[in-house]
């Protein structure tokens, strides 16, 4: 694993208060996508099967370009799969035209039913993707480039002890004039993780939708619902496989579609509940978030359920079999 040297290199004068495990981990387990040239990855792939998986809910404008870009990496990448989360637009059609294998969430393990949200489709992907490694990539990226995938694969193909690789990147905030993106990351996820899991304080983008992990790990973990999925997988990987099983890779810059503040409030609440369930399992917590809608001079409360049960480890699901290539 190359030591991380770039403009993001940790400034050691500012880290004295970071949890020592986090500082040590950051120094050892952080690399940049340029550390992982394509030719080296081909050499290291051997018979490891690699699936790129895109969760998609109404991503017609962006999904095809990402599929096309990921497919330029074949045969390093063995398959590009889109799991449709209930789109009402032409997401499935344009993804298929671009060369993806498309599955609708309702058609995967139908005996388990279908739940809304991102976590559900990432979980169900395990029942259709044939890879030993799954590379998750959001389908709303507006600047996808193949190095997003190769960067994430580097630490996994390099070191069998690596179980999960998180992306990080700079995040210009489109459509809004001030500051950077990653608003839930900075205002909720990282503060909560620093407080409750300080050894994870070195993870730059804990919510990144771009990450890769071994099937054997993903099959063994619960998947938190909705937008809690990344936080749950990160905490559970840390707890079951140890901090050094996680690596992170700098992919440069990433832009994506933005949701409004209220939607991000619900995302933050789901992440809070995901962490709460891991810090104090079974402890009471109010399961809804009340937001307010302003209409003609008044405000109306709108209650949103934000605490949802996890999906259990895929290996516990009757009828689940690893799909054959």
Ligand X SMILES: O=c1ccn([C@@H]2O[C@H](COP(=O)(O)OP(=O)(O)O)[C@@H](O)[C@H]2O)c(=O)[nH]1
Ligand Y SMILES: O=C(O)[C@@H](COP(=O)(O)O)O[C@H]1O[C@H](CO)[C@@H](O)[C@H](O)[C@H]1O
Q: Which two three-digit tokens encode residue 228?
A: 């809690």
Number of residues that bind ligand Y (CB under 6 A): 16
- Return the exposure string of 295-306: e unless at least 16 CB atoms fall within 10 Å of the residue's CB, then b: eeeeeeeeeeeb
Per-residue b or e along 47-80, where b marks 16 or more CB atoms closer than 10 Å to that residue's CB: eebbbbbbbbbbbbebbbbbbbbbbebeebbbbb
Phi, psi of 288 (to 5 degrees): -125, 160
Give the integer Cα–Cα distance in Å for 324 and 321: 9
Q: Identify the residue among 151, 154, 202, 209 touching ligand Y (CB under 6 A).
A: 209
Write the interaction track for ligand Y spanning residues 211-230; mark x where CB under 6 A is met and - where it is not. ----------------x--x
Residue 181 touches ligand Y, criterion: CB under 6 A: yes
User: Should residue 90 be labelled a site residue for ligand Y when binding is judged by CB under 6 A?
Assistant: no
- Partner that binds at residue 185, options ligand Y, ligand X, none, CB closer than 5 to 8 Å by kind: ligand Y
Kindly indicate which of the ranges 73-81, 120-128, 206-214, 310-318 contains the residues binding ligand Y, using the contact rule CB under 6 A.
206-214
Please report how close the Cβ of residue 10 comes to ligand X at its closest, in angstroms: 26
- CB nearer to ligand X: give 121 or 129: 121
Report CA-CA distances (Å) from 96 to 7, 64, 65, 209. Answer: 39, 8, 12, 21
State the residues that interact with ligand X by CB under 6 A.
55-57, 59, 85, 116-118, 121, 138-140, 209, 256-259
252 binds, among ligand Y, ligand X, none (CB under 5 to 8 A by kind): none
DSSP letter for 62, please: T
Q: Which one of ligand Y, ligand X, none is in contact with 117 (Cβ closer than 5 to 8 A by kind)?
A: ligand X
Site residues (CB under 6 A) for ligand Y? 138, 171, 173, 181-185, 207-209, 227, 230, 258-259, 264
């Amino acid at each position: 694993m190359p030591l991380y040297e770039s403009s993001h290199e940790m400034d050691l004068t500012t880290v004295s208060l970071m949890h020592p495990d986090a500082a040590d981990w950051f120094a050892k387990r952080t690399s940049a996508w340029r550390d992982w040239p394509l030719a080296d990855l081909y050499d290291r792939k051997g018979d490891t099967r690699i699936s790129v998986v895109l969760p998609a809910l109404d991503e017609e404008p962006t999904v095809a370009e990402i599929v096309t870009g990921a497919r330029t990496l074949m045969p390093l990448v063995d398959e590009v799969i889109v799991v449709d989360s209930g789109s009402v637009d032409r997401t499935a059609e344009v993804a298929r035209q671009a060369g993806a294998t498309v599955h609708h969430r309702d058609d995967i393990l139908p005996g388990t039913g279908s739940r809304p949200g991102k976590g559900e489709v990432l979980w169900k992907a395990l029942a259709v993707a044939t890879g030993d490694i799954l590379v998750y990539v959001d389908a709303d990226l507006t600047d996808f480039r193949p190095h997003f995938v190769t960067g994430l694969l580097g630490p996994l193909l390099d070191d069998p002890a690596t179980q999960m690789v998180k992306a990080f990147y700079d995040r210009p905030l489109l459509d809004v004039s001030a500051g950077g993106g990653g608003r839930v990351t900075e205002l909720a996820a990282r503060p909560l993780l620093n407080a409750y899991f300080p050894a994870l304080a070195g993870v730059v983008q804990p919510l990144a939708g771009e990450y890769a992990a071994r099937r054997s790990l993903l099959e063994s973990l619960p998947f938190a619902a909705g937008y809690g999925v990344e936080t749950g997988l990160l905490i559970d990987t840390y707890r079951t496989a140890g901090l050094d099983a996680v690596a992170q890779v700098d992919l440069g810059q990433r832009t994506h579609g933005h949701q409004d503040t209220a939607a991000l409030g619900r995302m933050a609440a789901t992440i809070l509940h995901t962490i709460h369930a891991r810090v104090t399992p079974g402890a009471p917590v109010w399961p809804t978030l009340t937001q307010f809608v302003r209409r003609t001079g008044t405000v109306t409360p709108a209650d949103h359920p934000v605490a949802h049960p996890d999906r259990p480890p895929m290996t516990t699901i009757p009828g689940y079999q690893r799909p054959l290539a």
